[in-house]
Amino acid sequence: MRLTLWTDYALRTLIYLGAGAGRLSTIAEIADSFAVSKTHLMKVVNRLGRQGYVDAVRGKGGGIRLARAPAEIGVGAVVRATEEDLAVMGCLATTGFCRIEGCCVLRRALREATLAFLQVLDGYTLADLLAPGAVLVRSLGLAAEPPAVPAGRAPARKGGRR
């Protein structure tokens, strides 16, 4: 089975947003991070928004972020939502495609294989895909935000002295 570029971009976008831990990201940042088409990614993100996977914040300083917790985003559900056709052969999509479809064991085997493929993906959530944690964040070029310094305190110097 081969997934489309659309699904590939959708999953990468969700991984990027999940690794960003709630921070707003832009489509340009995501496209640059993965070296993919910004124009195509815009269409993918638009659909992810309509499907309830991402939220968009408009205006200056806006961007996109996950609309749900990573543990609530099933990989199998995303694949089903983004793939137009999961049939690996024409006979799975259309009746009357082949003269032997009524007795074809291959058709049944391919249907079972497709269902098994989706069943495995159903066992994963976006939270599972984010398991590499800091390694994933670094690989995506997402710098960790420096810790905030409380008002009225200067950051400590090297050696811990002020």
Write out pLDDT tens, residues 14-23.
999 999 988 8
Segments of the chain assigned E as strands: 54-57, 63-66
Token match 């269409």: residue? 43
pLDDT at 144: 56
For the cut 80, the answer to whether the pLDDT of residue 162 exceeds it is no
For the cut 60, the answer to whether the pLDDT of residue 76 exceeds it is yes
Write out pLDDT tens, residues 105-129.
888 898 899 899 999 999 999 999 9
Q: How many C-beta neighbours within 10 Å does residue 136 have?
A: 16
Which domains are delineated in the chain? Answer: 5-143 (1.10.10.10)
Report pTM: 0.80
d(CA 134, CA 143): 10
Positive/negative CA dihedral, 5, 75, 142, 41: positive
